Amino acid sequence: MDRLTALQVFVNVVEQGSLSRASDKLDMSRAMVSRYLAELEGWMGVRLLHRTTRRLSLTGPGEEALSNARAMLALQDEMKQIAERDAEEPMGLLRITSCYSLSQTLLAGVVNDYLARYPGTSIDILLQDKVVNLVEERIDLALRITNKPDSNLVARRLGTCHSVVCASPAYLDKHPAPVRVQDLAIHNCLSYAYFGKSIWEFTGPDGPESVPVCGNLSANISNLLLEATLKGTGISMQPRYSVQPYIDRGELIPLLIKWQPKKIDIYGVYSTRKQMSPLLRSFLDFLLERMVLDPMWTD
C-alpha cells in the first residue's frame, strides 16, 4: 500500500464528506477509495470513520489521525519543494482559486502564457464566487477582490478593481437615467451578495456619498447580474474589467460618471510565507508583472 496516497484519500474523504465525492476529486474509482481506507485502517489497527448510509463521521482515533495526515501531506509538499528550489525553472502543480469574472478576464490569459513559458508546470483552477478554506481545499493561491483580506493569511496586493454603474439602452428607454447618486434609490438595482448588497458607496464632486439600493434580483455570481443587466432587468454595479467590452460596443451605458464607485483591492492570498514554493513565487511575480502594465488594474 502507498501510505501517502492512503493518507491523501483519507483526508479527501473527510473534506468531501463522502467516498463518491472524494473519488471524483481524486479521479479514482470509488472501489479504490474504499480499498485505500480499509488498508489504512488495517495498517493502523483502528477504525478511522463511522460509516452509515447517510453520512461519515470521524472516530476519536480518526480525529487525531486527520491532523497527523494533513501534517504529513504538508511535509511531503515541502520535500518536493527542496528539489524545486534547485531547478532552473519552476516546476510542479499549482492550485488556484478565483471568482468567475476575474478568471475569464485576467487569470485564463495569464495562466496560458505562464504554462507556455514554463512547460514543467501545471495549474489546477477552482472557480468559486465565495471564500474557500485554503488549507482544507489544499489551495496554493487565492485571487480575492476585497478591502479586508483575512488577517490569518498572507495577502499580496496585485492591483485595483474599478467598478462602473451601468444599464442597457433597453432599460434606459423605459426609465429616466439617474442624474445623481441618490436617484439610484428609486431604480431597480441588481445587487451582488458579497459586496454592496444594500448600500452603494461613491466618491463624487462633493466627497463621499452612499445610497441605499434595492431591486428584484441579487446573486452571488457577478456574471449572472451582468447578463441580467444586458437584458434590461435593471441597473448594476459591475467590475470595469467585465463590462468595458459591452460599453465599447454600446450594449451598456455607464451612468453617474462624475461619481467614482468605491475601489476594491485585488490580492493574491496564500497560507504562509514559510517554505513558500518557487512555483508560487514565480507565478505571483508573473501575474503582477502582467497587471502593472495594464491600466485596467492600476489606480
The three three-digit cell numbers of residue 243, written as one number: 463590462
Kindly tell me if the per-residue pLDDT of 125 is higher than 90. yes
**In what side-by-side order are the strands of the sheet with 264-270?**
121-127, 92-98, 141-145, 264-270, 154-161
pTM over 0.95: no
pLDDT for 147-201, tens place per residue?
A: 888 888 889 999 999 999 999 999 999 999 999 999 999 999 999 876 767 899 9
Task: Specify burial of residue 81 (Cβ count, 10 A radius: 0-12, 13-18, 19+).
Answer: middle
32-79 residue pLDDT tens: 888 888 888 888 888 888 877 677 888 888 788 888 888 787 777 666
Helices (H), 45-161: 60-86, 100-102, 108-117
Q: Which long-range contacts (C-beta less than 8 Å, at least 24 apart) are formed by 43-48?
A: 43/1, 43/3, 43/6, 48/10
Cell numbers of 15, please? 473534506
Taking the CB of residue 83, how many other CB atoms lie within 10 A of it?
10
Whole-number Å distance between alpha carbons of 246 and 102? 16
DSSP H or E run through 236: strand 235-239
**Could you give all domains of the chain from N- to C-terminal order, each with its CATH number?**
3-84 (1.10.10.10), 87-161+265-297 (3.40.190.10), 163-262 (3.40.190.290)
Cβ contact 48:56 at 8 Å: no
CA distance between the termini of the chain: 54
